[in-house]
Amino acid sequence: METQIISAPRASQFALDICAGLGEPGQKELPSKYLYDAVGSALFEVICALPEYGLTRAEERILQLHASEIVDQLPRPVVVAELGSGTGRKTRFLLEALSRWQSTWYHPIELSPTALALLRRELHDIHCISIVGFEREYLDGLREVAARRVKGEHLLVLFLGSTIGNFDGSAGGEFLARLRQILRPGDSLLLGTDMLKPVDALIPAYDDALGVTAAFNRNLLVRINRELGADFDLTQFEHQAIFNHRTHSMEMHLRSRIAQQVTIADAGTSFHFEKGETIWTESSHKYSQEGLRELARSSGFRRQSQWIDAEWAFAENLWIAE
Ligand code: AVI
């Protein structure tokens, strides 16, 4: 069992990205990747356990029930790379199924060192699995994994949890097309996608009774205050979750309760907010079968199999690079 982390060279874009997003003419926005500092990652773990948020449990049920069937459809030998591995609870089912017929290199690719450390703790006991984590942006890490494999080894990329849904607009399709370029024909992608469902099931999933999702969202302002010396008054911004019928996406916003000025000291700049104006912090796209068909086709994959949870409309999709 080998466990090792290859660390990223650090060049933070945080201040630049925050100022660009708040300085947008029209809708202010902040990149959702910044929701995941240590506190945000911990809050996200709690969200996954909330009764209103069925997505994570649905995917866990699929992988628990069908891991062997999924693994049986893969070419061998296979190296596994996972984008945004989280804690690895779901991945365990697949790795255990794989370990029954081969020794496996498993490469989680993740920007959060906290998540990588948790993952190592979660998965270290599985026999015949060697973990080498990459603290990298997804595609940079995947390129390194692809370059390391030896002749004859296939690649299985795991992109679970419907993280693909957090890419805005056409960015999800563009990302998958770039991912495809790193693969060889015959390599596979296991893609988790949350499916379209009634809005009255979606709204509570993103605006739960305990206020955990609200805290997850507002923590972004706490982070900007702490890391960039800003003076966001938390009591004057409220969490908002809305369904955008045009884009089929749940959106999280932070809504200013009053007209106000916020200063970001470290960037030497201020931003004005009208009463009721929002900062758009995340989109979470919900997929139709038609949308998935088009996404696979346009990004260069053939759809091989799909598993859908019976309780919460969530799909695990096995796609093959063409
Ligand atoms: C990580 N991602 C798939 C979650 C989602 O459902 O879009 C993030 C999240 N945001 C609010 N609740 C959960």
Q: Minimal CA–CA distance to 24: which of 273, 210, 238? A: 273
Distance 186 CA to ligand 1 centre (A): 30
The pLDDT value recorded for residue 111 is 79
Query: How far apart, in whole angstroms, are the C-alpha atoms of residue 134 and residue 198?
Result: 38
Q: Which atom of ligand 1 is found nearest the CA of 84?
A: 1
Q: How far is the CA of 251 from the centre of ligand 1 (A)?
A: 10
Locus of tokens 């062997």: 68
Residue 284 CA, ligand 1 centroid: distance in Å = 6
pLDDT at 13: 85
Cβ partners under 8 Å of residue 90, min gap 6: 56, 59, 60, 63, 160, 161
Structure tokens at 193: 């996608």
164 Cβ inside 6 Å of ligand 1 = no
Question: Is 281 touching ligand 1 by the criterion CB < 6 Å?
Answer: no
Residues 6+ apart with CB under 8 A from 266: 15, 227, 228, 229, 230
CA-based Rg of the chain, rounded to a whole angstrom?
A: 20
* Whether residue 56 has its Cβ less than 6 Å from ligand 1: no
Q: How far is CA 41 from CA 78, 131, 220, in A?
A: 30, 21, 11
Q: Is 88 in the pocket of ligand 1 (CB under 6 A)?
A: no
Ligand 1 atom nearest to CA at 162: 3
Walk along the chain (322 residues) and give the pLDDT tens digit of each residue: 444 544 443 337 899 999 999 999 999 999 999 998 889 989 999 999 999 999 999 999 999 999 999 999 999 899 999 999 777 889 999 999 999 988 999 999 997 787 888 898 899 999 999 999 999 999 999 999 999 999 999 999 999 999 999 998 899 999 999 999 999 999 999 999 999 999 999 999 999 999 999 999 999 999 999 999 999 999 999 999 999 999 999 999 999 999 999 999 999 999 999 999 999 999 999 999 999 999 999 999 999 999 999 999 999 999 999 9
- Ligand 1 atom nearest to CA at 161: 3
